[in-house]
Structure 1
Amino acid sequence: MKDLIKKIKPYLPYLIALIGGGILTYAFAPYDIGIAGIISLSILLWAITKQPPKKAFYIGWCYGLGMFGMGVNWVFFSIHVYGNTAPWLAAIITGLFVILMGIYPALFSWTLNKFFNKHDLVRTLVIFPALWTVFEIARGWLFTGFPWLYLGYSQMGSQLHSFAPIGSVFAVSWAAALVSSLLYNIIMYYFENKSTPKLRNQLFATLLGVWVIAFGCGKIKGTEVSDEVIEVALVQGNIPQMMRWDPEHVANIVQTYRTLTDKVLGTTQIIVWPEGAIPVPLPESQQFFREMGALARASQAALISGVPTQLADQRHYYNSIVAVGLAGPNNNGCENYEMPGCSYDKSHLVPFGEYVPFESILRGIIAFLNLPMSSFVEGPSNQSPLIAQGLHFAPALCYEIAYPFYVQHISKEADFILTISNDTWFGDTIGPLQHLQIAQFRALETGKYVIRGTNNGYTALIQPNGKIQALANPNEATVLAGEVTLMKGQTIWVRFGIWPLLAALVLTLGGGYYWQDRKRMKLFKAR
């Protein structure tokens, strides 16, 4: 038995890191065990402490494999079921994606142990949280970004989420990482009998202080309620993914949305259809939207819908949103969908889902790379908000809601955040609820209502504090109706963006490196 333990012992940090990464999944929706996120990162810190940089890299990679292997395993479902890909090939593609994403925790671990290798409280309480946050920011930006599974999302149910209106989900990630490092230090100093009563009290006081500051941040109101309330109705068509782009089902799809919409005409001001609701691209469907616009206008309403827009080359498309009825500048209607305020073209596309990188080489190799409507191109980066009922809606199409920077930018001139999606790609996995949780954070960050329309769930109205006001039953053709209130003002995050937080992180890392370098020099001179 002792021999077996000796053989296993060198591999324990890798195994424990793998398990620790997997635990992180349970911190997010639908499980929402926030403490799991804190414990998970504490495990990573333990696993890489006092390890050489190269070994720390591979330990961090194992953590990333557990984190993404458990947290985004819905990728396999999308590739296999809707990509019409053999299970073994879908597993390989998913595995490669997980391996690639795992590089971020690996590089984080290597950087921490390479440049900040003095094992003291400065490393764990100052450098560790700041460096983790920097790598999260990088992951959401480099190579189009993958802004999923940010540590901050795990704290939706804790007081730490109060940092979001000040520094977005990244500030919450920093706070959660700090709490993780405090937990690590409290446990390690206790078991190693190195702590004094004074040090223990300081660590517990710091832990309490984080929550006190978070409570104080929750009292900072960047936005305030106005007297203007509007009625909205979100139409959830529940169209199966296999039917959406089949020409034989177009008439039934259109009829589904018409029938559901008829139920609320005359009782609501804004009607929202989900992403790609009408599977007939503009300009071919322009006459249909003119008719729907006239119908909505007669009922003193505006209709906002997702629809593809075919480009002049007849091969490529925009993934678009159009507004008709009482919409456009001065509510004069949108006879021309190219008018400012009448349409929006998605600018952050999903690689391999909405477009194929290196298309001329990869297109057609496997079925997954030849999905219906996978020839989208990016819309312009600087577009006007959608206008309906004289109000401005910041559009975020599907995946775009996951980008904090993007939503911060478009929400500056907006009264509401509007996000529409087609989450049938996820199937009955944890993906749709993770997506909903991300939208909740965008409401928190901006201090505005988020109106979220989906094809099959989860369609929701989200309050400025991130709480869900109303939620439609998933996998059901239905209409979710409710009131949303116009919010005045801007949160600190919307006003200043990432720059204050980024400057603080860079200064923290620079100061931490200088501190550790100075201590190393003193030790060298003493020798």
Structure 2
Amino acid sequence: MERLAGGVMLLSGWRRALMAFSAGLIGVVALPPFGFFAALFLSFTILVWLVDGATGEAGSGWVRRLLPAFWIGWFFGFGYFLGGLWWLGNALLVEAEDYAWALPLAVLGLPAFLALYYGLATAAARLLWSDGAGRLAALAVAFAAAEWLRGTLFTGFPWNAVGYGLMPVPLMMQSVKLAGMDAMNLMAVFVFASPALLGTRRGARRGLALAGVALVAHLGYGVYELRFSPDPAATGTGVRIVQPVIDQAMKLDDTVRAEIFERHLALTAAPPGNGGRKPEIVIWPETSIPFILTDNPDALVRIAEVLDDDQTLIAGAVRMEAAGAGKPPRYYNSIYAIDGKGQIIGAADKVHLVPFGEYMPFGPLLESWGINAVAAMPGGFSAAREHPLLRTAGGRSFYPLICYEAIFPQEITADAAQSDALLNLTNDAWFGNTPGPYQHFRQAQVRAVQTGVPLVRAANSGISAFVDSKGRVVLGLSYNIGGYIDSTLSGSSVSYQDIAKQNLRFYILLAMALLTALVSRFGFIRAKN
């Protein structure tokens, strides 16, 4: 191991860049649909050894001294994000004649930009670098900060945060309810980087022991939660999720809107497979109603014809709102609740819009150049200010998360504790049968564990599922499997997991890791084997 570590440290030029890029690319194997989390042990071990050898020019300024470490992190991040996000380009091919020109920006430009966060992380870690286990703490702190910034700046894009690599199955998801995603990012980097100590020996015994204790505690807590902690009781409320599997190109075709609508209605009216009673709640995916519902009263009549009086339909749709005389209307990506009489009894609008997808940053300027958002209405969608609970005719309530809102822990407020379930409506047909839908589902699944509130997820093409508050899939439909699933709504965990309390615990862990890095860096203690 020492010879291998030395060889990696001494790499230079393009070989060094290629090794960093390859290490990031290897880490992608830990993400869905593969979920081989052990790949990150190799990925972060190589990263540590590369940073070990990232020494700047003697006597130069601190910026030039940190540049070698920055570029290692950047190439590592470029490999990780390129391998993990290439599928975004599929959305641009749905209307290739209009958006194919932007393919390099999505497939190469976005990973190159996101890699800047990892470059900053390795540069910051290098400031506190030491010979022993303290450098792992420095790297963990720096990556945790970088992931927080990535999820916050420029509206945020925390897709595939490194902490998800430590949570491939429900057994390994339970720790997230203690201190949130930021803590999982911190712990993941420390644990996955720990084999690097075998290549340098200094501080190996202490560092590996600490990483081992953290990993065993992580697994042990998962075993406790799944086997010995009380399971949430079922509510008795029947729910149907409709997964129509409609090709995205078809959804954009104005001539087949009636056909799309009728397909949803047919799946809604289908009798329960077990011969039982009809579900009280039927859920359609994001933008499943293919027209402005309030402009089509006949559509509400058709819904009333299909529903029983005691049923409620929850469906994704575009909502239009008048903006006043002489002003264009505003459009919202919304969810409607419609009772058995065809009356709209509730609505919730999307808060966190997708940049370049649902709205254009610097919209007027870019639109003047003929550049429009991929999935938006004329002028783009408008964002709501908050997530109101969506209530059904039977008194059940859902906390709405439309599309990728489910990847943002900060989008979920304490109001979720008053809901019966998190409700995630999405349309991942934009991305085809690529890793994208599987990654999206995994992150929504973790939100259920983090909050202690079950998840009901309806996706146009999949993955749709009922997920309990411990992250277990009760019933689901895989990608591209059309149909519906009926289940009973699960209950919440014994107590709602407060995001604010999770953040406080994370700050304590962060302070401990930072103190460890500082002590190791400035020589207050000597690392020992």
Does the CA contact (< 8 Å) of 2:238 and 2:486 recur in 1?
A: yes
- Tell me the alpha carbon deviations over residues 450-487 of structure 1, each in whole angstroms, 9 at most, x when there is no partner: 11101111111222222222221432431122223222
Letter aligned with residue 455 of structure 1: N
Matching residue within 429, 436, 446 for 1:424: 429
| Residue of structure 1 in register with 2:474 after alignment | 469
Moved over 6 A (4+): none
Aligned-pair identity in percent equals: 25
Report the alpha carbon displacement of residue 72 of structure 1 after superposing the two structures with TM: 0.2
Distance change in 2, residues 1:504/1:287 (3 Å): farther
| Secondary structure in structure 2 of the residue aligned to 1:117 | coil
Matching residue within 316, 337, 353 for 1:323: 337
Does the CA contact (< 8 Å) of 1:290 and 1:324 recur in 2?
A: no
Q: Distance in 1 between matches of 2:506 and 2:362?
A: 36
Q: Distance in 1 between matches of 2:146 and 2:279?
A: 44
Matching residue within 248, 254, 261 for 2:255: 248
Does the CA contact (< 8 Å) of 1:13 and 1:48 recur in 2?
A: no
Q: Does 1:276 align with 2:287?
A: yes
Normalization by structure 2: what TM-score? 0.85
| Residue of structure 2 in register with 1:330 after alignment | none
Q: Does 1:390 align with 2:372?
A: no
Letter aligned with residue 320 of structure 1: S
Matching residue within 180, 187, 198 for 1:175: 187
Q: Any residues of structure 2 matched to 1:11-22 within 5 Å, and which?
A: 11-22=14-25
Aligned Cα root-mean-square deviation (Å): 2.9
Of residues 287-296 and 134-143 in structure 1, the stretch that sits farther from structure 2 once superposed is 287-296
Matching residue within 152, 163, 169 for 1:141: 152
Report the alpha carbon displacement of residue 269 of structure 1 after superposing the two structures with TM: 1.5
Q: Any residues of structure 2 matched to 1:48-127 within 5 Å, and which?
A: 48-51=51-54, 52=56, 53-82=66-95, 84-85=97-98, 87=100, 89-113=102-126, 115-124=127-136, 126-127=137-138
Of residues 171-180 and 382-391 in structure 1, the stretch that sits farther from structure 2 once superposed is 382-391
Letter aligned with residue 217 of structure 1: Y
Of residues 279-288 and 301-310 in structure 1, the stretch that sits farther from structure 2 once superposed is 279-288
Report the alpha carbon displacement of residue 302 of structure 1 after superposing the two structures with TM: 1.4
Of residues 393-402 and 494-503 in structure 1, the stretch that sits farther from structure 2 once superposed is 494-503
Does the CA contact (< 8 Å) of 1:386 and 1:394 recur in 2?
A: no
Q: Distance in 1 between matches of 2:414 and 2:95?
A: 33
| Residue of structure 2 in register with 1:37 after alignment | 40
Distance change in 2, residues 1:370/1:210 (3 Å): closer
Normalization by structure 1: what TM-score? 0.86
Matching residue within 47, 50, 74 for 1:47: 50
| Residue of structure 1 in register with 2:59 after alignment | none
Matching residue within 412, 419, 426 for 1:414: 419
Q: Distance in 1 between matches of 2:390 and 2:220?
A: 33
Letter aligned with residue 355 of structure 2: P
Matching residue within 358, 361, 365 for 1:361: 365
| Secondary structure in structure 2 of the residue aligned to 1:170 | helix
Matching residue within 306, 324, 343 for 2:316: 306
| Residue of structure 2 in register with 1:234 after alignment | 241
| Secondary structure in structure 2 of the residue aligned to 1:363 | helix
Distance change in 2, residues 1:91/1:85 (3 Å): farther
- Tell me the alpha carbon deviations over residues 138-168 of structure 1, each in whole angstroms, 9 at most, x when there is no partner: 2111111112111121223365433111122
Distance change in 2, residues 1:367/1:249 (3 Å): farther
| Secondary structure in structure 2 of the residue aligned to 1:229 | coil
Distance change in 2, residues 1:98/1:240 (3 Å): same
Does the CA contact (< 8 Å) of 1:82 and 1:425 recur in 2?
A: no
| Secondary structure in structure 2 of the residue aligned to 1:303 | strand
Instruction: In structure 2, list runs of 5 or more residues that go unmatched.
Output: 1-7, 57-65
Instruction: In structure 1, list runs of 5 or more residues that go unmatched.
Output: 327-332, 523-527
| Residue of structure 2 in register with 1:445 after alignment | 450
